[in-house]
C-alpha cells in the first residue's frame, strides 16, 4: 500500500472509531446527490457503510460514490472514488476508496441528462459526415451524443443543430469533438462529447431554460423515488 492509500486508511479508521459521518456524493441524471454516511468497518480493502436511502437512486445508476478527503499534510481537498459492491437502504459495501479523476467535479457549466421520453435531437455535419442522433446530456458548454463507433474523431470540427422538445431549434453551432468513450452494453455505438466553440446569447438562453426545466423534472422524480 503506497503512502497516499495509507493516509486514507488511517483517516477512514479514525472516522470509523469516532463514528463520524462523512459527506458522500453520487450523481442522479448528472445532478449531484449529497448525503452523510458513517463508515462502519474496513476489512480486506472492503469498506462497510451505514446506508442512507436517499443515495440509492444515484447508486442504481452509477454503482459508485465519491468522498471528499482533506489531505492532512497539504491541507488540500481530494476526491476519492469507491465502487459499490453491495447495497440496500441500511448497509452499503464498497471497494477501498482511491483517488478519483472525475470530470464532473471540474465542469464550468451545469450538465444534465436528457429525458429519453422527451429527447433532444442533434444534427451533426461537416464536409465528410452528416447524420442525426439523440443527445445523452447537455450543458451550456456542450452536448454528449450517441454515435456509431469510429464516426467522429477527437478534435474533429463539426456544425451542430439542436432540436428541443419545446420546439426550439438552435442551428449551426460550431463545435469540436473533445471526448469519445465507450457506452456500456453497446458494441457498435459510443458517446462523443462535443464542446461548443461559440454560442449566441439567445441560444445560450434556450439551453439554460431547458436545463432549469429538466432539473425540476429530475428533482421531482428523485423525490418520488426517495419518498420525500
Please give the domain boundaries of the chain with CATH numbers for all domains: 3-106 (2.30.110.10), 112-224 (2.40.10.220)
Which residues partner with 82 through β-bridges?
65
3-class DSSP assignment, residue 156: coil
Residue range 68-72: mean pLDDT, rounded: 78
Question: How many angstroms separate the CA atoms of 58 and 44, rounded?
Answer: 26
Give whole-number Cα distances, 30 to 19, 39, 108, 127, 154, in Å.
Answer: 30, 25, 14, 33, 23
Q: What's the confidence (pLDDT) of residue 74?
A: 61
Question: How many angstroms separate the CA atoms of 35 and 92, rounded?
Answer: 13
Whole-number average pLDDT of the chain: 90
- The yes-or-no verdict on residue 5 having pLDDT over 90 is no
- The yes-or-no verdict on residue 59 having pLDDT over 90 is yes
Give the chain's count of helices (H) and strands (E): 3, 15
Residue 42's pLDDT band, with cuts at 50, 70 and 90, is very high
- The yes-or-no verdict on residue 106 having pLDDT over 70 is no
Question: How many angstroms separate the CA atoms of 119 and 111, rounded?
Answer: 15
Q: In which element (H, E) is residue 215 found?
A: helix 201-226
Q: What's the confidence (pLDDT) of residue 108?
A: 60
Confirm if 108 and 214 have CB atoms less than 8 A apart. Answer: no
Would the pTM of this model clear 0.75, i.e. be above it? no
Q: What's the confidence (pLDDT) of residue 132?
A: 95
Q: Which are the contacts of 155, defined by CB distance < 8 A and separation ≥ 6?
A: 176, 177, 178
- The yes-or-no verdict on residue 35 having pLDDT over 90 is yes
Residue 100's pLDDT band, with cuts at 50, 70 and 90, is confident
pLDDT tens digits along 118-153: 999 999 999 888 999 999 999 999 999 999 999 999
pLDDT tens digits along 160-174: 999 999 999 999 999
pLDDT tens digits along 194-218: 999 999 999 999 999 999 999 999 9
Q: What's the confidence (pLDDT) of residue 156?
A: 94
Amino acid at each position: 500500500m503506497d503512502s497516499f492509500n495509507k493516509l486514507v486508511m488511517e483517516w477512514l479508521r479514525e472516522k470509523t472509531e469516532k463514528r463520524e459521518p462523512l459527506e458522500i456524493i453520487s450523481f442522479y441524471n448528472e445532478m449531484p446527490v449529497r448525503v452523510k454516511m458513517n463508515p462502519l468497518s474496513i476489512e480486506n480493502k472492503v469498506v462497510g457503510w451505514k446506508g442512507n436511502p436517499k443515495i440509492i437512486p444515484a447508486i442504481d445508476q452509477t454503482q459508485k460514490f465519491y468522498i471528499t478527503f482533506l489531505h492532512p499534510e497539504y491541507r488540500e481537498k481530494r476526491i476519492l472514488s469507491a465502487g459499490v459492491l453491495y447495497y440496500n437502504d441500511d448497509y452499503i459495501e464498497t471497494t477501498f476508496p482511491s483517488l478519483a479523476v472525475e470530470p464532473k467535479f471540474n465542469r464550468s457549466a451545469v450538465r444534465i441528462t436528457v429525458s429519453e421520453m422527451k429527447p433532444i435531437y442533434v444534427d451533426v455535419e461537416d464536409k465528410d459526415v452528416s447524420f442525426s442522433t439523440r443527445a445523452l446530456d447537455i450543458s451550456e458548454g456542450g452536448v454528449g451524443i450517441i454515435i456509431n463507433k469510429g464516426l467522429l474523431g477527437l478534435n474533429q470540427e463539426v456544425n451542430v443543430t439542436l432540436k428541443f422538445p419545446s420546439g426550439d431549434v438552435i442551428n449551426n453551432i460550431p463545435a469540436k469533438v473533445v471526448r469519445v468513450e465507450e457506452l456500456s452494453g453497446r458494441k457498435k455505438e459510443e458517446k462523443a462529447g462535443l464542446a461548443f466553440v461559440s454560442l449566441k446569447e439567445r441560444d445560450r438562453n434556450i439551453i439554460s431554460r431547458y436545463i432549469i426545466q429538466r432539473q425540476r423534472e429530475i428533482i421531482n422524480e428523485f423525490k418520488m423515488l426517495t419518498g420525500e
